[in-house]
């Protein structure tokens, strides 16, 4: 955008800005009455306003008194610079525009192209092409041997991209995504999953308990009663139960330690609606007090999934787990029997990492009747909870899970993030 002086600006360029002329008059007599000044300075109101703002003068008992004289007035120089086509600081330009001493002038495409030609060009611009002046252009020599400056445009974090890819893959396989609260009732995190009240994983060393508020509300009393009876004596599941149930512990609020809590909530919903078969997944954050090292962190993402339907068996479960692990680039996958309070049979999955060896990527199994029947579901339910962070380590080729949350610019650039 170009600028030019208005008629008032041209007059002030020739004779000086009113405030500057006022100071020059006062330099001879130090103080002058307002009446005398009006006859010699027509723009007295403007001159007084700006001179007082600049701290040059003040009015005392009807007289204007000089306080100090400016050695140089940048605003006067700015008028001269604009008139001669030189650039002016943005703040001075805005002030002159506000005083209507300068106005914007829209330049034509040809004018811009002419200026570019005079300055010398190293690339063709839209103005040169539209005006046709590119035919006269003499491009500066271009050395193809010079290495250009690297650009790092903003992109998603590599771990976020992997999570999004897994989400798309599971949706393509017919799974429906679900969500659940991060602050969860101990009931959904443990009790609804038939985890005994005295299980070691329910201690303060393995969960984050809330102090304020400490407890949540019981909304479905019948469900809580069925789960409580299952813990105490097995209810109608054919189990003997655990012999006891700690109701106050079930009401405690915690930071969710596993996304299986979302699966329990979904099964309770399916038990009421009867919308079976159903395939559900959730990818979300969980929290556990843990030692922080290359393979452990106090908060991480889990990929939780359930498949509900008649005729499902253990082979179906291993097939789902193998498919997910292969997506992450695991060349070798193995499974070994395991134990979880809420699944039988149960299995742990391992994927081979070139530097870390075999790393566990999650547990899985078929939900026990003690889990499904109190929630209103009578058919088989395949379930798994995968440490998606550890699988992402395979795909990204990193040896430390903390890199998944890194702000290391060098590493992020190598992974094509920024």
The structure tokens 């969500």 sit at: 179
> What are the strands, taking DSSP E only, across 125-252?
176-177, 183-185, 208-209
pLDDT beyond 80 at 171: yes
Q: Residue 410 and residue 145: Cα distance in Å, rounded?
A: 25
Query: What are the residue boundaries of the structural domains of the chain, listed by start?
Result: 158-414
Q: Work out the angle at residue 288's Cα, subtended by the Cα atoms of residues 286 and 289, and round it to the nearest 5 degrees.
A: 155
Higher pLDDT, 338 or 136: 338
The pLDDT of residue 118: 67
pLDDT mean over 318-331: 81
> What are the strands, taking DSSP E only, across 256-356?
278-287, 299-308, 333-340, 343-353
Tell me the percentage of the chain whose pLDDT exceeds 90.
37
Distance, C-alpha 249 to centroid of its chain? 35
Q: Residue 282 and residue 384: Cα distance in Å, rounded?
A: 11
pLDDT mean over 44-53: 90
pLDDT mean over 70-96: 86
pLDDT beyond 60 at 418: no
The pLDDT of residue 230: 96
Helices and strands (H and E) in the chain: how many: 17, 15
Among candidates 297, 288, 282, which has minimal Cα distance to 181?
282
Topology (CATH) of 158-414? BirA Bifunctional Protein; domain 2 (3.30.930)
Is the distance from CB of 347 to CB of 317 less than 8 angstroms? yes
Among candidates 92, 90, 88, 89, which has minimal Cα distance to 75?
92
pLDDT mean over 48-55: 90
Which range is least confidently modeled, 171-180, 206-215, 260-269, 393-402? 393-402
DSSP 185-219: EHHHHTGGGT--TT-GGGSTTTSEE-SSS-B----
The structure tokens 């909304």 sit at: 219
Q: Residue 137 and residue 355: Cα distance in Å, rounded?
A: 58
The pLDDT of residue 113: 67
Is the distance from CB of 55 to CB of 64 less than 8 angstroms? no
In this structure, the strands spanning 278-287 and 176-177 are parallel
The pLDDT of residue 221: 95
pLDDT mean over 271-297: 83
């Amino acid at each position: 955008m170009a600028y030019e002086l208005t008629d008032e600006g041209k007059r002030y360029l020739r004779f000086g800005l009113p405030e500057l002329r006022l100071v020059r008059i006062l330099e001879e007599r130090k103080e002058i009455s307002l009446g005398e000044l009006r006859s010699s300075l027509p723009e007295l109101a403007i001159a007084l306003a700006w001179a007082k703002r600049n701290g040059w003068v003040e009015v005392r008992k009807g007289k204007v008194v000089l306080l100090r004289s400016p050695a140089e007035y940048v605003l006067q120089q700015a008028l001269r610079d604009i008139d001669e086509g030189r650039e002016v600081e943005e703040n001075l330009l805005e002030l002159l525009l506000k005083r209507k001493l300068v106005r914007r002038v829209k330049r034509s495409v040809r004018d811009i192209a002419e200026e570019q030609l005079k300055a010398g060009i190293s690339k063709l611009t839209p103005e040169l092409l539209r005006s046709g002046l590119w035919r006269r252009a003499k491009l500066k020599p271009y050395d193809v041997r010079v290495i250009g400056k690297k650009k790092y445009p903003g992109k998603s974090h590599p771990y976020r991209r992997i999570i999004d890819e897994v989400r798309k893959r599971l949706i393509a396989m017919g799974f429906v995504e679900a969500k659940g609260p991060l602050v969860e009732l101990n009931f959904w995190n443990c009790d609804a999953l038939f985890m005994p009240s005295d299980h070691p994983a329910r201690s303060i060393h393995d969960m984050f308990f809330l102090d304020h508020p400490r407890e949540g509300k019981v909304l479905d009393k019948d469900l809580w009663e069925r789960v409580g009876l299952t813990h105490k004596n097995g209810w109608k599941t054919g189990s003997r139960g655990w012999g006891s149930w700690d109701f106050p512990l079930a009401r405690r609020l915690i930071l969710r330690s596993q996304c299986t809590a979302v699966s329990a909530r979904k099964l309770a919903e399916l038990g009421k609606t009867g919308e079976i078969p159903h395939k559900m997944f959730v990818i979300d954050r969980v929290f556990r007090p843990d030692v922080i090292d290359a393979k452990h962190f106090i908060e991480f993402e889990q990929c939780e999934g359930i498949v509900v339907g008649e005729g499902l068996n253990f082979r179906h479960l291993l097939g789902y787990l193998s498919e997910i692990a292969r997506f992450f680039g695991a060349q070798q996958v193995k499974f070994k029997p395991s134990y979880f309070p809420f699944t039988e049979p149960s299995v742990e999955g391992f994927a081979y990492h070139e530097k870390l060896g075999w790393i566990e990527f999650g547990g899985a199994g078929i939900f026990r009747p003690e889990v499904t029947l109190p929630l209103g579901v009578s058919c088989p339910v395949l379930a798994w909870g995968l440490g998606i962070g550890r699988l992402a380590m395979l795909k990204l080729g990193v040896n430390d899970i903390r890199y998944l949350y890194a702000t290391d610019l060098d590493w992020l650039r190598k992974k094509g993030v920024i």
